[in-house]
Amino acid sequence: MNRLEILAKRFAAITYPILTTRYASGCCIAAARIGIEVFEYFGYQAVEIPCTVWVPNRDLVKRLVDSDGEWPDDAQSRQWMADGCYSVVVGHPNHQIANGISAHLILRVESFFIDPTIPQAHRPHRGIDIPAGVVFRSADLASGRDDVIRSDQAQMLHYHPRESKEYLTSPDWATRRWKRLAGVIIRELRCPTK
């Protein structure tokens, strides 16, 4: 692993727990803004990438594979859900959160994509296991195409890049209220307490 990959993995691992001491679970805008600052401090340029992430549990993936990718009709859908099929969508364009924001933000630093706030989709009781942020490489996502990756826990994550700038109006982006937490994360990355 090179220096950037180590830094990216550490950033992904520590950012969400630190941010959720001050923010709600859907804190991807603040995380992206902080990430830009943190990576700049360490000499790298980070760029935010708006996207939607679909996170199915293993039961749903198996059902889709067994049905050759055919989505169920309404009656089948109810049966699939009763059988344990479940998914979470983070950053769905039709589900706006506070301040009218609907996109999920991740970071791109050189060839790495970093999603420190994907643990907001963690639903172990539903078979979705994402306790920590993820770091991955993707030629497809870099080219603006969808990509499916697996987390360290073998959880499938389907990333769909979006054209969205609505996050620029969010106080989490436009104000500097995140600045202190950026300092906390930088200190932790420089001198880990664990």
- pLDDT digits 0-9 by tens, 101-154: 678 999 999 999 999 999 999 999 999 998 889 999 888 888 888 788 877 767
Report yes or no: 133 and 12 within 8 Å, Cβ to Cβ. yes
Question: Can you tell me whether residue 89 is helix, strand or coil?
Answer: strand
CA 3 to chain CA centroid, Å, is 22
Q: Residues near 14 by Cβ (< 8 Å), separated by ≥ 6?
A: 185, 188, 189
For the chain, the helix, strand and coil percentages under 3-state DSSP, each to the nearest 5: 45, 20, 35
Residue spans of the domains in the chain: they are 3-57+87-190
Q: Does the domain formed by 3-57+87-190 have CATH 3.10.550.10?
A: yes
- pTM confidence score: 0.89
- pLDDT digits 0-9 by tens, 38-94: 999 999 999 999 999 999 999 998 888 888 878 888 888 889 999 999 999 998 776
